[in-house]
Structure 1
Amino acid sequence: MNAIKKTGNTFATKWAEFVIRYKWFVLIGCILLAMGLGSQGKMQFDGDYHVFFSESNPELEAFDALQDKYTKDDNIVIVLAPKNKNVFTRENLVAIEELTAEAWNTPYSSRVDAITNFQHTRAEGDDLYVDDLSYESAAKTDAEIDQIRATALKEPLLVDRLINEDGSVTAINVTVRLPGEDSAVEIPEVTAAARKMIGDFQEKHPEFDVYTTGLVPLNAAFFEHSEKDFARVGLMILIVLVLTLLLTRNFFAMLSTLLVFMFSFMSAFGFIGLLGIKLTPPSAVFPTMILTLAVADSIHILITYLQKVRKDGLGKKEALVESMRLNFMPVFITSITTVFGFLTFNFGDVPPFWDLGNIVAFGMAMAFLYSTTLLPALMAIFPLWNKKKALEKKDKLGWYTNLGLWVVGRPKVITATSLIIIAGLAYIATFNVFNDEFVEYFDTSVKFRQDSDFINENLTGFYNVEFSVGSGESGGINNPQYLAKLNAFENWLEEQPEVVHVNAFSEVARRVNRSMHGDNPSYYKVPTSREEAAQYLLLYELSLPFGLDLNNQINVDKSETRVTATLENNSSVEMVAFAERAEQWLKDNTPEPMHAIGVSPTLMFSKLDFRQADSMFNGNIIALILISLVLMLALRNFKLGLLSIIPNVAPVLVGFGLWWLYKGTINTGMVIVFSMTLGIIVDDTVHFMSKFLRARRELGYSSRAAVIYAFETVGRALVTTTVVLVAGFAVLSTSPFALNSYMAQITVIIIISALVIDFLLLPSLLVLISRDNKENVSARELRPEIQLDK
């Protein structure tokens, strides 16, 4: 055991002496390595919502299959709210016609739906006429406009979809078919064209308020907030520099810390380019994470170095060597456990978090390298200022000593109280529920969220669930039995409390059947003859203009039709429950060919939490086992290795318990917090335990004196790293992107909880489980005024 200890200390000492002796060569080597990796870097952003789903995701496979059968429905919904609260005036209809015509010029547009170009059917004798509901609106009489209003507000395919019930708000839906070759080019291109079109419209028609939503604006919001969150690193660098300067009171310590981060960032940047990773909102925050974690590595080495100089009066070289000897192994342990934690992101089901985990893991490995090479080399090169003035009196009890005295004086009370509080918060944590409404990925300061909320409140829901209902045969959608069952399914959907609107082929069949019978209301039902149904459908399709056909509802061989249920904003649980309810209704009430599963981006995001949690469970277990094994080996104490599980897991339980009191809902970004913070909070535990064991093994202190020694030697460093980590994640918590901000907010809670637990529960447990015998109890105490274990 002692041989292992001496080997570890000898290696760290020789490593430090080598770095200091060849400091200029080490500095040049680090510069060349960072620049070499950085030169391979390439920064690209991907805003397509598809990136949140792995290729094997069953919901994505089902959704892509549905879109392959029909038309892709990437869209821009432009909602017009005239200030006179009446869509049906001559001037407003003319403006809507103009914008509808202009919308066809949107890049990659394939279809534009509005109330003005809605294909209204009417019969004259045996002839079927299909026309735009309102064309050449400027020439319409008041009576004709009144008729248009009456028709529109009775049309099931329009109300709560393109017009609200009182006719005060209307929508234009622009469907685009993106080539899918490069979303980083296509999405900004479509977005820029749409924004210019809307801007020009508002300048010409200030009497309208305009709102936009849809999948293209959603993708644009993802894209833009990826860049904004990435840009936050500048603010974070400034905050960390100021904090490091204030907490270390040494300019060169601040400068060295900055260079360690910059070199770590350059290396991670090169890693991104070498692997061809495209940044997304979750992965774009990697600079902030690397910054805060890299600084945590550096702070421990710097604080110990400065303490040895200021408090113990050592020279620069001796202080650096001693700091590296004491901190090399703890920094290595925290770095490798952090790497383990982030690598377990790969067990999840969200590719952007795979990228985040891999980038940060590589960055942390490089941060460890630079912290143990570049940092001591720089401090050896930089001059040491005001050494004599900084020397402190040794006979004065500090704040950390007093805290240690207070803790070791009542270990049983602190342990019992802490465990009760932790158990209570762990129980409360089970009340958190998953909720992944992707509109709420953005806070209310984001225009996309504001517009989507307005549209949901004033016109239609943004969420939907789609079903591809098969007939089992080519041309089978004209089968009266199929149409009757489809009509029943449509009716059932409309009866559900969360459903705002239903778009089904059965409504088209009813409307055409009525028109073919002289617009007799009694024929507003699906045809009862297959021949009639087929003939009516053919006649109707031949009457439709280019771009407004039924390809978005009927597949090529007319064996399946698409049913779309638009819903109010619902939680993930409610969305999944609705889809399962609808699927079960089809199983219970229709023949097997009509059985279908619900799909849509909305539903995919709703299920993402559950899939991510299930897939991350194994990763969390593996991370916990690996970290515990590393600690057992590094601490060379099986009992303490097991004990470390408590302060490493308890902060997460406490954090989620407090989160329930704060929010109560969990999104996809928070599912990774357990793995992520496992590596981060190990930092506190390892450094405290390592100093405790050093006092026991090297200095012969009793358990109580060893705890006080740990407080004195590492307390300031733990507080400093906690402050830096909290500052970093606090900046990230201000992101308007909820996946990142929620993840950062709960991480702040967990990091603070970790420090409290490692300052109260951990030392109390160390005292209670230690069995001081004659070999371990030393007559020499930490300070003459500290009387423990006489």
Structure 2
Amino acid sequence: MSKLKKSRFWDTVARLILRNKIGILITVVLITILFSTQWKYMRFTYTEANLLPDDHEVNIEYNKFLNIFGEEGNLIILGVKDSTLFTVDKLNAWNALSETFREDDEVITVASIKDLQKLLKNTESQRFDLEPFIKDSIHSQAQIDTLQYELFTQYPFYDNFLFNKETKTIRSAIYLKKDIVNTPARKDFVVDKLIKRIDAFEKATNLDVRVSGMPYIRTLNAQNIVDEIGLFVVGALVVTSLIFFLFFRSFRATLISLVVVCIGVMWTLGILGLLKYEITVLTALIPPLIIVIGIPNCIFLINKYQQEVKLHGNKVKSLQRVITKVGNATLMTNMTTASGFATFIITESTLLKEFGVVASLSIIAIFILCLLIIPIIYTFLPYPKDRHLEHLNKRWVGGFVDWTERMVKEKRIAIYITVCCLVITCIIGIYKIKISGSLIEDMPKKTEFFKDIRFFEQEFNGIMPLEIMINTKREKGVMKSTTLKRMNELEDLIIDIPELSRPISIVSLVKYSKQAFYNGNPKYYQLPTKQEEAFILPYVKNSASGDTSMLSNFVDSTGQYARITTFMKDIGTDKMEEIEDDLEAKIKKLFPKDRYEVTITGKALVFQKGTTYLVKNLALSLSLAIFLIALFMAYMFRSFRMIVVSLIPNLLPLVVTAGLMGFLGVPIKPSTILVFSIAFGISVDDTIHFLAKYRQELQANNWKIKKSVYGALRETGVSMFYTSIVLFFGFSIFIISSFGGTVALGALVSITLLFAMLSNLLLLPSLLLSLERSIANKQILKKPTINIIPEESEGDINNDYNDKKK
């Protein structure tokens, strides 16, 4: 598109907006109402973030496990570590609390101390009978003493399941129905029943009840996400509007900006509902992001309007020029920002794909709203007062710009040396970066449920399930003695790994059966020998025929598949990979591939693999962002050299941020992966403005390089400073989050954008001056494909002068 056609296009846009202002405002209101009708379709996530593509091998294996054994994350644990629990009244109250949950529709079963059964040998029927440890209720302290003796010394099958014999910690297990675990019914049960009953129990008994398990953790964590959406939106509005007011000293301008970004947030929520996307820990960040990104758009438009008014005093002409001159620039900068977010669409992770779609669409939407609403509203308002224009002459901002000009003019070598030292130092830091695949690392550390996670980690070695599924490739292959012995050896390795809890499987039940066969003698809690199998197996089969639930949790209905369940502490990706390697090495030795197929799976492993997958895709995502923005530069300037020069100042802040992450111990994880593409997409906006103004200055100054660089620096320095400050404090809002990943995201993006501002104000002009002749090619820069900042014609200048005289 030629410069003339481009100018005519934006002139046409300006006329359409200003001549159809009532119709446009009505359209905006109607669209906003339409989007508001979609809010009811917004859904808060009821599952963990699955970072892997649906067709990924790890997901396929995990879904296969779920199809055979059902949902694994349906367990809620209640725990008490208090010696006074072992008194008649309190122990009865504890058992009664567990019984109340058994009556709830959402619960399959409850396992508490009162539910524990002894396996007793019935010689007459050649079967094992079940007899409860507590037949009715506790009546005396002597009963409690007997119970403690039996549980803690005689029955190792239950150790580390409902009690810890070393610390005397007791817990109860509530198994939710598997079909409600990922639905709103789970939240209703946890909030309306579980928490209320526990609170009442604590008040009545003065016992501290610890609660954990994935359904409970996910419910409270999701509630924290919901609560923080409002906190972030209000915080972003307050901080950005306060900074905006300090710059412009105008309540009117501040209010207009708030109206625009609030409508933008309403549209964002409408997009979420329209697309039927879930609100996750990432999509919850988009509304405040739109505020933070939208305010700089408002600054550019309102600042240009006030400059034009001060220049010639003609309001209509000022508003027309706001659209024609700033419209194209803000379009390109918003497109580059949207591109940074849109790169997440290619990751094939549903979580990041949805984040990228909604964020990029919302950024385009906020640009359209700013371009339409701000000029239209100002047509109805009187001229700005003199006090509203004072900020255009602020000396302290001018002083900052003068400092950058002096640095570029006199300290260019020092700038290059500083940059080189920074790069070398940060490369060292990059090698210190670790990857984190923890399910709970980003959860709020100060909440009670997080403290309870740590409690159960200490008492029972974790709450995050890790599953090993064994396919014997034949029916009833699990109960073969060779299979059981192989599983037992694998369990011995798991027991030796301190980050894993004692495993539970059919092996434990078979050992318990042998103990029962020998009249409960705990020294016989071991696998039966070949000779013993002939005597014990009939007892097991007769018992199983009468009560299939004994086996159903450990073996599928065909007897072909078995599971070994253990629970894992919160550990890093490196340690998890070590554990996985150890397990796989042992599995290869124990289970020949021609006879067995063994799979390690579980939520914790899926999440860890998802994080590793995202890290591998980070380079692709960031490379695409750089490539897309380079295309914008090529399309605008048609110069490969200009592309290289423009990218260097924007890649430097990313290197600095990555180095800081390494030195500060901030790991690469799903939340911090976002930093690089987001920051790059935003920081390049300043480069576009600067280079566009630089090209214009070259033409105005007859291709005098130094004069053009300093002119561009003075002209764009103030707007860069304004927008960077807004973005810095806007993203800093996320530091108030209770989620560690969100805090890291806010802090890192803020730091990156601050470095980006300095890099564009110091390094970019220095490079232009140092490379002078090789870059300032008249044939290339004289006729850009896109004219970001239209030149002032002589007629415009004369008209401005005449308008001012009038």
TM-score by length of structure 2 reads 0.89
Corresponding residue for 1:766?
A: 768
The more displaced of 135-144 and 506-515 is 135-144
Match of residue 544 from structure 2: 541
What residue is the counterpart of 1:70 in the other structure? 69
Once the two structures are overlaid, the 10-residue window that deviates more, 704-713 or 500-509, is: 704-713
Q: Note closer, same or farther for the CA distance 1:204–1:147 as it changes in structure 2 (3 Å cut).
A: closer
Question: Which residue number in structure 2 is paired with residue 159 of structure 1?
Answer: 159
Corresponding residue number in structure 2 for 1:785: none
Aligned to 2:442: 441
Alignment-mate amino acid for residue 583 of structure 1 = E
What's 2:749 paired with? 747
Contact 2:650 2:760 in 1 (8 A): no
| Aligned match of 1:668 | 670
Superposed CA offset, 1:613-637 (max 9, x none):
2234323222211110111212343
CA distance in 1, matches of 2:634, 2:344: 24
Measured in 1, the distance between the counterparts of 2:575 and 2:93 equals 39
Supply the AA of the counterpart residue of 1:444.
Answer: K
Label 1:11 to 1:676 Cα distance change in 2 as closer, same or farther (>3 A): same
- The amino acid of 2:538's aligned partner reads Q
Amino acid of the residue matched to residue 687 of structure 1? H
The separation in 2 between residues aligned to 1:323 and 1:93, in whole angstroms, is: 75
Aligned 8 A contact 1:153 1:167 in 2: no
Q: Which residue is 2:57 aligned to?
A: 58
State the shift of 1:212 in Å.
Answer: 0.9
Aligned to 1:220: 219
Residue 421 of structure 1 pairs with residue 422 of structure 2: yes
Post-superposition offset of 1:542: 5.2
Distance 1:30 1:684, change over 3 A: same
Report the 3-state secondary structure (helix = DSSP H, G, I; strand = E; otherwise coil) of the residue aligned with 1:598. Answer: strand
Cα gap change, 1:235 to 1:413, in 2 (>3 Å): closer
Q: What does 1:228-377 align with in structure 2 at a 5 Å threshold?
A: 228-232=227-231, 233-310=233-310, 312=311, 314-377=313-376
Aligned residue number for residue 472 of structure 2: 471
CA distance in 1, matches of 2:701, 2:35: 44
Partner of 1:34: 32
Q: Distance in 1 between matches of 2:61 and 2:483?
A: 22
Could you say which residue in structure 1 is the equivalent of 2:698? 696
| SS of the residue 2:468 aligns to | strand
Distance 1:404 1:155, change over 3 A: farther
**Structure 1 residues 458, 395: CA separation in 2 closer, same or farther (over 3 Å shift)?**
closer
Aligned AA for 1:184? Answer: P
| Separation in 2, partners of 1:471, 1:595 | 7
Q: 1:298·1:371 contact (CA, 8 Å) conserved in 2?
A: yes
The structure-2 alpha-carbon separation of the partners of 1:269 and 1:493, relative to structure 1 and needing over 3 Å to count, comes to closer
Any idea what SS the aligned residue of 1:179 has? coil
1:113 corresponds to 2:114 = no
Give the aligned partner of residue 506 of structure 1: 507
Alignment of 1:768-783 (within 5 A): 768-771=770-773
TM superposition shift of 1:445: 1.8
Deviations 1:123-146 (A, max 9, x none): 466663322233334235516633
Post-superposition CA distance 1:666-705 (Å, at most 9, x none): 2211122222222111122112222222211244463332
Partner of 2:564: 563
Q: Is the 1:76–1:212 contact (alpha carbons within 8 Å) kept by the matching residues of 2?
A: no
Superposed displacement of residue 586, structure 1: 1.0
Q: Is 1:94 the counterpart of 2:92 in the alignment?
A: yes
CA distance in 1 between partners of 2:565 and 2:394 (Å): 76
The answer to whether 1:12 aligns with 2:10 is yes
Alignment correspondent of 1:199: 199
Question: Which amino acid is 1:70 matched to?
Answer: F
Q: How does 1:178-193 map to 2 (within 5 A)?
A: 178-180=178-180, 183-193=183-193
Q: Tell me if the contact between 1:733 and 1:741 (Cα under 8 Å) persists in the aligned partners.
A: yes
Q: Which runs of 5+ in 1 are unaligned?
A: 778-790
* Distance verdict in 2 for CA 1:271–1:568, change over 3 Å: closer
Look up the equivalent residue of 2:130 and give its one-letter code: V
Note if contact 1:465-1:579 (Cα within 8 Å) is conserved in structure 2: no
Aligned 8 A contact 2:78 2:211 in 1: yes
Q: Structure 1 residues 33 and 116, CA, compared in 2 at 3 Å: closer, same or farther? A: closer
Report the alpha carbon displacement of residue 540 of structure 1 after superposing the two structures with TM. Answer: 3.7
1:369-394 deviation per Cα after TM superposition (whole angstroms, max 9, x unaligned): 12222222222332223238846779
Match of 2:603 among 601, 604, 610: 601
Instruction: Give the CA deviation at 1:582.
Output: 0.9
Contact 1:120–1:133 (8 Å) recurs in 2: yes
User: Which is worse superposed, 227-236 or 325-334?
Assistant: 325-334
1:481 is displaced (CA, Å) by: 1.2
Tell me which moved more, 673-682 or 611-620.
611-620
Q: Residue 471 of structure 2 contacts residue 561 of structure 2 at CA under 8 Å; is this kept in 1?
A: yes
- Structure with bigger helix share is 2
- CA distance in 1 between counterparts of 2:280 and 2:301 reads 34
Pairing 1:642-653 to 2, within 5 Å after superposition: 642-653=644-655
In 2, the alpha carbon distance for the partners of 1:641 and 1:496 equals 53
Distance in 2, matches of 1:393 and 1:100, equals 71
One-letter amino acid of the counterpart of residue 525, structure 1: Q
Give the aligned residue type for 1:709: G
Question: SS state of the match for residue 465, structure 1?
Answer: strand
Comparing 446-455 with 259-268, greater Cα deviation is found at 259-268
Residue 705 in structure 1 maps to residue 707 in structure 2? yes
- For residue 171 of structure 1, what is the aligned residue in structure 2? 171
Distance change (3 Å), C-alpha of 1:723 and 1:218: same
Partner deviation per Cα, 1:200-224 (whole Å, 9 max, x = no partner):
3223322x10111111112202321
Q: Secondary structure at the match of 1:615?
A: helix
- 1:46 alignment counterpart: 44
- Which residue identity is paired with 2:135? Y
Greater CA deviation, 643-652 or 612-621? 612-621
Determine helix, strand or coil for the equivalent of 2:158.
coil
Change (3 A) 1:222 1:107: farther
| 1:723-768 Cα shifts (integer Å, max 9, x gaps) | 2222222222322123333222211121112112112211111211
| Aligned residue runs from structure 1 range 607-626, under 5 A | 607-626=609-628
The whole-number CA distance in structure 1 between the counterparts of 2:551 and 2:86 is: 27
For residue 669 of structure 1, give the secondary structure of its aligned residue in structure 2: helix
Q: How far is the alpha carbon of 1:527 from its aligned partner?
A: 2.6
Deviates more, 1:97-106 or 1:753-762: 97-106
For structure 2, the residue ranges without an aligned partner over 5 or more in a row are: 782-806
Does residue 637 in structure 1 map to residue 635 in structure 2?
A: no
What corresponds to 2:728 in structure 1? 726
AA of the residue aligned to 2:107: S
Q: Aligned equivalents of 1:231 and 1:620: distance in 2? A: 30
Q: Deviations over 1:546-568 (max 9, x none)?
A: 9x633111110112221012233
Distance 1:775 1:147, change over 3 A: closer
Matched letter for residue 329 of structure 1: N
Given the superposition, is the C-alpha separation of residues 670 and 117 from structure 1 closer, same or farther in structure 2, using an over 3 Å criterion? same
Asked if 2 retains the 8 angstrom alpha-carbon contact of 1:514 and 1:523, the reply is: yes
Structure 1 residues 768, 327: CA separation in 2 closer, same or farther (over 3 Å shift)? farther
**Farther off after superposition, 508-517 or 572-581:** 572-581
Per the normalisation by structure 1, the TM-score is 0.90
Report if the CA contact (8 A) 1:489-1:586 is conserved.
Answer: yes
The residue aligned with 1:780 is none
Q: Quote how far apart the aligned CAs of 1:533 are.
A: 5.3
Compared CA separation, residues 413 and 265, structure 1 to 2 (3 A): same
Work out the percentage of aligned pairs sharing the same amino acid: 19
Matched AA of 1:115: I
Deviation digits for residues 122-170 of structure 1, max 9, x if unmatched? 3466663322233334235516633543433554343333212334321
SS at match of 1:466: strand
Summarize the Cα distance change of 1:691–1:35 in structure 2 as closer, same or farther, 3 Å threshold. farther
2:660 counterpart SS class: helix
User: Which residue number in structure 1 is paired with residue 804 of structure 2?
Assistant: none
Q: Which amino acid aligns with 2:370?
A: S
Task: Give the Å deviation of 1:270.
Answer: 2.7
Q: Which residue of 1 aligns with 2:377?
A: 378
Kept in 2: contact 1:349–1:612 (CA 8 A): no
- Segment drifting more, 412-421 vs 620-629: 412-421
Moved more, 527-536 or 563-572: 527-536
Query: Which residue pairs with 1:387 in the alignment?
Result: 386
2:797 maps to none
Counterpart CA distance in 2 for 1:39 and 1:566 is 44
Aligned twin of 1:591:
592
